[in-house]
Amino acid sequence: MTAKICVYPGTFDPVHFGHLDIVDRALNIFDTVVVALAENPKKKPLFTLKERIEMFEDAVSKHKGRVIVEGFSGLLVDFMKKYNTKIIVRGVRLFTDFEYELQIAMTNYKLDKVETFFMMPSQELIHISSTIVKDVAFHNGDVSSMVTPFVKSKLEEKVRQLREAKE
DSSP labels for 111-139? HH--EEEEEPPPGGGTT--HHHHHHHHHT
Round to whole Å and give the CA distance between 11 and 81.
Answer: 20
Please give the model's pTM, rounded to 2 decimal places: 0.94
Number of H helices, E strands in the chain: 6, 5
Q: Answer for the pair 89, 10: CB distance below 8 angstroms, yes or no.
A: no
Q: Read off the CATH number of the domain in which 128 is found.
A: 3.40.50.620
Per-residue confidence (pLDDT) for residue 38, from 0 to 100: 95
Q: Over its length of 167 residues, how does the chain's per-residue pLDDT go in tens digits?
A: 466 999 999 999 999 999 999 999 999 999 999 999 999 778 789 999 999 999 999 999 999 899 999 999 999 999 999 999 999 999 998 777 788 899 999 999 999 999 999 998 999 999 999 999 999 999 999 999 999 999 999 999 999 998 888 87
The total number of structural domains that make up the chain: 1
Q: Does the annotation list 116 as a binding residue? A: no
Q: Is 144 annotated as a binding residue?
A: no
Domain of residue 101 covers 5-166
Instruction: Check whether 29 is labelled as a binding-site residue.
Output: no
pLDDT digits (tens, 9 = 90+) for 115-164: 999 998 999 999 999 999 999 999 999 999 999 999 999 999 999 998 88
Q: Which residues contact 51 (CB under 8 A, 6 or more apart)?
A: 154
Please give the positions annotated as active site.
19, 43, 93, 130
* Identity of the residue numbered 31: D
- Closest Cα partner for 72 from 34, 103, 47, 36? 36
> How is the chain split among helix, strand and coil, in percent rounded to 5?
50, 15, 35
The answer to whether residues 22 and 89 touch, using CB atoms and an 8 Å cutoff, is yes
Helix (H) or strand (E) holding 8: strand 5-10
